[in-house]
Amino acid sequence: MNVFKCISPRQESTLTGHHRATFARRNWLAWLTLACLIGVTASAQDPASSDATPADQTPDQTADNSPTLRIGIIGLDTSHVPAFTKSFNQDPADPDMKNCRVVAAYPYGSKTIESSYSRIPKYTEQVEAMGVDVVSSIDELLKQVDCVLLETNDGQPHLEQSLQVFRAGKPLFIDKPTGSNLAEVVAIFRAARHYDVPMFSSSSLRYGEGAQAIRGGKVGAVLGCNAYSPCALEPSHVDLFWYGIHGVELLYTCMGTGCQSVRHTSTESREVAVGVWSGGRIGTFHGMRNGKSGYGGTAFGESAIEPIGPYGGYQPLVKQIAAFFRTEQVPIDPAETIELYAFMQAAAESKQRGGDAVTLAEVMEAAESQADQLLAGKLDPR
């Protein structure tokens, strides 16, 4: 896989200091194996009103004369919407989210997943109560905002929805899952690069205090990791994409890139995926659908063995999103996000093959070809 197909020049240019060094190192080490296997290079707040000024005009100014970033939401079918909106629009503002405000939202949304679309009226009412203007189209939304939260719970519409945002040049955060399958994920990152629009996608589990401490070297080099989370399934999505993504995001936060192959075992109530990383490291994901459940795991390092820690809520992720919207600096190497979805796609393929090992190179090669088809005729000439 040519990971540079999926990384915008503007995204790459904003990776400075540690991020730039990490970006270069991870792309080389994490994708070298894929390149060899498939023969391609692998990587004080001013409340906004419903009559906000068009996005091509100067944004509203706050009392301290700094611009208010007007945030739009696409998809009011997830509990993340009222939680994120409350965080951004609270008064007084959290210092880390100062001058960021949700001002408009488009409600739809999944049309096929009942557990999602049935919640739209409730969440629409809640965001309206927080002063958000609910609009009738994505085009109308884009005229009122500077950046976008793509919150549609269903990953299937994400490609078409994100293309509208990219064409408008608005920085974009895509809530999990990025897409319903790996090909859609690859296509979305490619489209972001084509339009040179910064975007990232993440589960909130990545930014828990424990996971970030391990990421930062608390146990030294991570030699292995076991991560777990609830793992409800949705037939329209690759198995782990729907909810197992939370535990897999934890796993990758600790392990980083470099997984080569995955074996998967599944029962009616459990999912276990075992990945082999370069250098002989092993990472596992345990998904639960019965009994006591939660989020966490254990990291095995050179100098210590430590729990990943409990779930820390949405606020750490929302702060990262605010910083991203202000700076347009991508906080996660896109190659890592793509690989963690390749891990889950390989797990699904292994499940279909009775638990045989499936390489990430194989699923990436198929996804690249499918992404070509998904994007055919949809990318405007640049």
Query: Is 91 inside a domain boundary?
Result: no
Closest CA relative to residue 297, chosen from 268, 338, 255: 255
CB contact at 8 A, 220 and 303 = yes
Confidence of residue 92 (pLDDT cuts 50, 70, 90): confident
Query: Is 227 inside a domain boundary?
Result: yes
CB contact at 8 A, 255 and 273 = no
Residue 147: alpha-carbon gap to chain centroid: 16
pLDDT (0 to 100) of residue 174: 98
Residue 145: alpha-carbon gap to chain centroid: 21
Separation of alpha carbons 258 and 324, rounded Å:
26
Task: Among 81-95, 218-232, 265-279, 344-358, name the one with the lowest average pLDDT.
Answer: 81-95
Query: Is 55 inside a domain boundary?
Result: no
Confidence of residue 115 (pLDDT cuts 50, 70, 90): confident
pLDDT (0 to 100) of residue 113: 92
DSSP labels, 47-83: ---TTPPPTTSPPPB-TTSPBPEEEEEE---STHHHH
Return all residues near 167 (Cβ < 8 A) that are at least 6 apart: 195, 380
Confidence of residue 61 (pLDDT cuts 50, 70, 90): very low
Buried b (16+ CB within 10 A) or exposed e, 354-369: eeebbbbbbbbbbbbe
pLDDT one-digit tens code per residue, 237-271: 999 999 999 999 999 999 999 999 999 999 999 99
Query: Is 129 inside a domain boundary?
Result: no
Query: Is 347 inside a domain boundary?
Result: yes
Match 């997830």 to its residue by tokens. Answer: 78
Query: Is 372 inside a domain boundary?
Result: yes
Task: Among 33-47, 118-132, 223-237, 297-311, name the one with the lowest average pLDDT.
Answer: 33-47
pLDDT at residue 362 above 60?
yes
pLDDT one-digit tens code per residue, 222-243: 999 999 999 999 999 999 999 9
pLDDT (0 to 100) of residue 268: 96
Residue 316, domain CATH:
3.30.360.10
CB contact at 8 A, 153 and 111 = no
High-pLDDT (> 70) share of the chain, %: 83
Confidence of residue 363 (pLDDT cuts 50, 70, 90): very high
pLDDT (0 to 100) of residue 40: 34
pLDDT (0 to 100) of residue 74: 98
Confidence of residue 42 (pLDDT cuts 50, 70, 90): very low
Helix (H) or strand (E) holding 296: strand 296-301
Helix (H) or strand (E) holding 101: strand 100-106
Query: Is 131 inside a domain boundary?
Result: no
pLDDT (0 to 100) of residue 109: 81
Domain count, the chain: 1
Give the residue with greater pLDDT, 195 vs 66: 195
| Domain limits for position 345 | 1-43+205-382
User: Across the chain, what does the average pLDDT equal?
Assistant: 87
Buried b (16+ CB within 10 A) or exposed e, 93-111: beeebbbbbbbbbbbbbbe
Query: Is 140 inside a domain boundary?
Result: no
Give the residue with greater pLDDT, 329 vs 65: 329
pLDDT at residue 106 above 70?
yes
Confidence of residue 7 (pLDDT cuts 50, 70, 90): low
